[in-house]
Amino acid sequence: MMPISDKELELLNRIQEKTHGHEMGWEATADENTFIAAVPEFSLSISYRKPKYENSFYYSLTISNHLGQIVAEIKASQYDENKDALQAIFEGARRVAFNADGEIEKLLTALG
């Protein structure tokens, strides 16, 4: 996969920061491995894919404009240097979308 630009790296870092600060409104989709978030004039989608007949996986962040046109897509396989950033965004998006902190709190209360 192509190396990403400095601007794309900055974007990944900013999204990761905002996601972990619970400042991004990630939502679940019908696909359990895809989460979406709206940002003024843009929508973001973060996905995890494991091809059926391959022993690999990859993460993908898709950025669409207000017309729904894909303006950029950043992908990273398990061997790419950007995998950690995309994985962190994916896992953070899942935590936000499913309110993981609140659910864990409920479980702790239920367990006494």
Domain layout of the chain by residue ranges: 6-111
Tokens coding 1:
């996969």
Tens-place pLDDT, residues 77-111: 877 878 899 999 999 999 999 999 889 999 999 99
Q: Which residues contact 40 (CB under 8 A, 6 or more apart)?
A: none
- pLDDT of amino acid 57: 83
Task: Give the model confidence (pLDDT) of 60-77 as tens digits.
Answer: 999 999 999 999 999 988
